[in-house]
Structures are given as C-alpha cells and as structure tokens.
Amino acid sequence: MNNILNKKEKKIFDVSGEIDIKQYNDYVKTFKLTLWINFIFYSILFLIFVLILNTFDRGSIINVLEAYLPIIGVFLLIKLCKLKGEIQVRYQRLEKESNAKKYTMEFYSNYFIKRSNYIIVRVDYKDLKKIIETNHYFHLVDIENDNIIEKTALNTEQIEFVRGIRKDIYRSKIKSNIK
C-alpha cells in the first residue's frame, strides 16, 4: 500500500460512483468504433501492400489478387478475431469491475487511485492512453483499466481538471442534442 500512495501528497478531490449497465453500454459505443477503425486501417494497409507486390510482379491485378487472396482472407480473419477478442477482454475486465459495483477515485496532481471492494489501482497520468469525454461520462483509459467517471458526480471545476489532465490525449465525443 505504501508504494501506491505518497503520504505527503495532498488529494485534490475524490469522486464516488457505481458501475451499472448504462455505463457499460456507453463504454461499448465509445470503444467499439475505435476498434473497427483500427481493423479498417490495417485492411487498407494490407491492400496497399498487395498493390505494391503487383508492381513488382508485373502481372495483372487479378492474378496478384488470386495469388494473394487466401493470404488476405487469413489476415482479415485474424484481425477480425483479434478485434472481437479485444472487445471481449474489455467486456470481461469491465464485468469483473462491475462486480465491485461501488468505487471511489482519488485525484492527486500526478496520478489517481481507484478503490473498490476488489481492487486498489494507482494510475499515473503519464500512463494514460486516452481520456474520452462523452455526454454523461469520462473514460480514463490506461493499458490495463478503463476507468469510468459519471460526470454528474463532478462539479464544474472537477470536470475542467479531468479535461486538463493530459490535453494531448483528451478527446471530446459529446453529441449535440440539436437535430
């Protein structure tokens, strides 16, 4: 426990919440698109690779595609399985954390600590991969955990603090209600 908390550091604020199915649905909507974009990117990259092979082979594009179609199919199948696996791993992680239900997050100047019945995790802000703001939640994503904060539990100053943790990885996915 001593290595998780620096006793001299002053807590900026804390927030408590409860993970529910509504948060999970928002989570899936937020990250599923990112995973599909990753899949499409690698598919296009592989297609460009095949087109480059075509220039060296000096055959018709159809001959090259016929020769490499099984490889392309296997590659796309592997990427799709990896995509589904990644979604499933994230779901299992969130489901495990959902068993904890109630959690508290304590924010300090360089890190936050998340506590629940099952886990105590310290996350340094430098280790965050993404900070995503949606209409109702903040998602603070590091390599292992997807930490969800309900925005209604935060005041305006705390919302601005979370937005400013790392501006280089912050993204807003707030959808306007105006149609």
Give the tens place of pLDDT for each residue, 124-156: 999 999 999 988 889 898 887 778 898 999 999
Question: 141: closest CA among 78, 103, 93, 69?
Answer: 93
Q: Region 100-129: what's the mean pLDDT? A: 88
What is the C-alpha to C-alpha distance for residues 118 and 12, in angstroms, rounded to an integer?
A: 24
* Residue ranges covered by each domain of the chain: 13-172
Strand partners, 103: 17, 116
Beta strand pairing status for 102-107 and 146-150? unpaired
Tokens at 153, concatenated: 């539990």
Half-sphere exposure of 165 (CA within 13 A, CB side): 29
pLDDT score at 30: 67
Question: Is the pLDDT at 12 greater than 80, yes or no?
Answer: yes
* Mean confidence (pLDDT) of the chain: 78
Q: Would you say how long the chain is, in residues?
A: 179
What is the C-alpha to C-alpha distance for residues 69 and 67, in angstroms, rounded to an integer?
A: 6
